A and B are shown apart, each in its own frame.
Chain A
Amino acid sequence: MTAQIVRPYGDTTGDGRIQVSFTLPVPFRTRDEQARAEGAALQLAGKMGLDPAMVVHAKGMGPDFTFFIVYGRVSHLVDLSEVKVAKREFELLSPAEINLQIRSSLGRKLVVVGATIGTDAHTVGIDAILNVKGHAGEKGLEYYREIKVVNLGSQVEIPNLVARAFAEQADAVLVSQVVTQRDAHLKNTSELAAAFREAGPDRPLLVIGGPRFDPAMTSELGVDKIFGRGTTPRDVASYLVHAIAPARAGTAA
């Protein structure tokens, strides 16, 4: 059984040895500068709790910076019983898992209609999520074989978006809102939710994204999910699968 209290492992149980690398904005040219730079690195290592610490590598980068690799021993203990695992409401899946789950659970492509609405001409957010090119090293939803993406672009009128969503039999509508003057993003979103409410009971999932949204405001705004800053296409795809094509418990995938 794993011990409840552990320390980093170098080559012996309990030795607490770790390695870190970092850069300090200090020069490393003359002997004096080199000595001072290494001293600075040791000071930082000490404050980080490395005791003893050893600078095994220091290299000047240009006239103003020095790169260090430091080994040291930490005395900190890790109490495994206190480790808290933040639980997502949905599991983060790989593109292959997402495609597989849509195929096995829906048996058809998952249809997503995306747009920016109102006066908002900024398609940065919606394009980062939808375009194949993607964002932050992740391909956009167009890359997923089992997701059909209809990107309506910018400044789409809400009635047009509603009509198009029903015409495409969309499973989800993705709307991004970047412009926030006079809380335009909140007003637009509420109007969007109202328009879909009026259009009928069987509305698609409403997913909103933008840098100034509070993800906790879903019920207030009448939408199903709000994504904030730093959202990647895989986050969105994983959520869509969770909400629309959940794995059927007990049945073979």
Chain B
Amino acid sequence: MEAKPREPKLTIDPSVVAGARRLAAQAGQPIVEMAKAHTTVSVERAVLRLAGLAGADAAGMPMVNHVVDAVRSQTGLDYGVALPVWDALLAGGYASLSELAAATAAGGVAFRLPEGQDAALARVMASKAVGGGFAKIAGNRATRERLIEQTAEPRKPWIYLIVATGDIYEDIPQAQAAAREGADVVAVIRSTGQSLLDYVPEGATREGFAGTYATQENFRLMRAALDETSRELGRYVRLTNYASGLCMPEIASLAGLERLDMMLNDSMYGIIFRDINPRRTLIDQRFSRQIHAKAGIIINTGEDNYLTTADPVEGAHTVIVSQLLNEFFGREAGLADWQLGLGHAFEIGPQVPDQFLLELAHAQLVRELFPYAPLKYMPPTKHMTGNIFAGYLLDAFFNLAAVMTGQEILLIGMMTEGIHTPFLSDRDLALENARYVKNAAGRLGESFRPEPGGFIDRRANQVLDESVGLLRRIGQEGLLNAIADGTFGITRRPADGGRGLDGVIAKADGYFNPASEFLEPAEAADLDRADLVASQQGAAL
């Protein structure tokens, strides 16, 4: 998947860029250490899901929640859920994990922390069970590659469209129609507030609030439908969902198990926009990204959201800083650059003088800082005023900026943004807009040369300098303190505030997670990755 190097167009000093990456690594490393030293209830539930435990009780509470809660109350989770669970499975003579879970839900299982031979046996059995999940994930990745070969890889930029009816059986025909109309990527928006549920709903769902619940069965149904459509169209249509919120590790695992192709997965989105505890988010995120890395899933980060709250000119550098952090955390978790769909947006007000030049400067800067990342570019939302005609024009400029600066994942702007969920005709017109720009100006990028020292070049350098300044400050005060101060999205989130902190557990010395042996890089490769990566990146520029 290695792309050819892009030609630099801005007069950016590679040593400044390398310095920015070093600062991001310094800011991120303590978070990685914190994440390695902790687990969460959702990480432990993800382990059980990878081992194949599914299903819920009559009230809809998933079995993985029952088991993890029971183990937590009886033995604690500081040694992980796996040792007590597989010990009980062996000792109790249960035929399967599901049987053990059913007995646990009924309150009839006593867990203990096994020692000696018993512990060794539990480890082996747990690893074997989780290995089944990883085999399935690897199989899915191979299936995706085979399907892409059999159909075709769509040309970049990929057209990204959203469906969200709340009913998976309505979503399916809409997603198929969107694909026929030209969507290369279909995202199923989640029900409002799912990120705050501390469990993953079960089964096919037909009711949601402004979106459809992310469940394993919904994932399966939609992927199967899009496989059918991919074959019909002769191009592989990707499926996207959201690995965010309190169940991020579990949803990432389900995405791997059901062959989703892209997942929204930002390092700070849940903290800032959903008030989820920062530690919980960052621990969950590392595990979820390790899963995505294995599954060959492209993550989409959420920097576009900052610009919907902060001023998009004044706050432009916070996007770059967040992208550098997302890149550091992503690479540390094993994601390759082609899996880093770093996000940004076209949100500067049309009344701002030189608005389009500023947008070009920002978009080109991101392009050059991350030459191998499939950038996710988001359309205007803040300035879609209800004047659908002006909005259509603004979306055309967004599309133009995208093709001029080589953005790769293009969320299609709707002229009725903020008025209603798009009409069929809104979507059709939006695609016509994108097709026109792609067709008329798709190769403009090759002739786009911002004047060295000109407005665009100067602005890009200014944003980069501001980013370095902010990274330096974050390095001094620590990332968690910077988040607490309202550095991102102008929202203050203290490290011990927000939801989900009670689900964070410090690992004991003998902590065991059978998934880790599949996810953690070999010890030998653990020399200073960050510096290595930073120097390679500097060379690439």
Contacts and interface: CB of A to CB of B under 8 A. Distances in A.
B428 A143 contact: no
- Interface size class on chain B is 20 to 34
A131 B424 contact: no
Given A67-B428, A124-B193, A142-B491, A131 B275 contact: yes
Task: Report the interface size class on chain A.
Answer: 20 to 34
A64 to B, nearest CB: 9
Interface string B363-386: 000000000000000000100000
A5 to B, nearest CB: 28
B181 A67 contact: no
A38 interface: no
B418 A137 contact: yes
A61 B181 CA distance: 8
B272 interface: yes
B428 A127 contact: no
A127 B209 CA distance: 12
Given A137-B418, A139-B309, A128 B193 contact: yes
Interface in A122-180: 122-124, 127-128, 131-133, 135-137, 139, 142-143, 151, 153
B508 to A, nearest CB: 29
Given A132-B272, A135-B192, A137-B418, A23 B424 contact: yes
Contact of B209 (A65, A67, A124, A142): A124
Given A123-B193, A127-B192, A133-B274, A143 B381 contact: no
Nearest to A122: B193
B273 interface: yes
Contact of B425 (A23, A123, A135, A136): A23
Contacts of B489: 132
Nearest to B177: A62
B472 to A, nearest CB: 26
A22 B381 CA distance: 23
Contacts of B286: none
Interface string B160-197: 00000000000000000100110000000001110010
Interface in B421-456: 423-425, 428-429
Contacts of A139: 308-309
A136 B417 CA distance: 10
A137 B180 contact: no
B192 A124 contact: yes
Nearest to A59: B428
B499 interface: yes
A119 interface: no
B82 to A, nearest CB: 29
Interface in A30-79: 59, 61-62, 65, 67
A143 B310 CA distance: 10
Contacts of B180: 62
A21 B429 CA distance: 12
Contacts of B499: 153
A124 B272 CA distance: 17
B424 A132 contact: no
A61 B273 contact: no
A143 B486 CA distance: 11
B316 to A, nearest CB: 19
A127 B429 CA distance: 33
Contact of A61 (B192, B210, B428): B428
Most-contacted residue by chain A among B209, B423, B499 (CB, 10 A): B209
A21 B425 contact: yes
B196 A123 contact: yes
A152 to B, nearest CB: 11
Nearest to A64: B177
B427 to A, nearest CB: 9
B69 to A, nearest CB: 15
A62 B309 contact: no
A127 B245 CA distance: 13
A66 B308 CA distance: 35
A127 B193 contact: yes
Interface string A17-28: 000011100000
Nearest to B305: A133
Nearest to B191: A124
A24 to B, nearest CB: 10
Contacts of B177: 62
- The winner among A23, A59, A124, A143 for most chain B CB atoms within 10 A is A124
A127 B309 contact: no
A104 B370 CA distance: 46
A145 to B, nearest CB: 8
Interface in B174-226: 177, 180-181, 191-193, 196, 209-210
The 5 A-B pairs at the shortest CB distance, nearest first, are namely A137-B418, A124-B193, A133-B273, A67-B425, A61-B428
12 contacts: A22-B425, A127-B193, A131-B275, A132-B272, A132-B489, A133-B273, A133-B274, A136-B210, A137-B418, A142-B275, A142-B491, A143-B309
Interface of A: 21-23, 59, 61-62, 65, 67, 122-124, 127-128, 131-133, 135-137, 139, 142-143, 151, 153
Interface of B: 177, 180-181, 191-193, 196, 209-210, 272-275, 308-309, 381, 417-418, 423-425, 428-429, 489, 491, 499
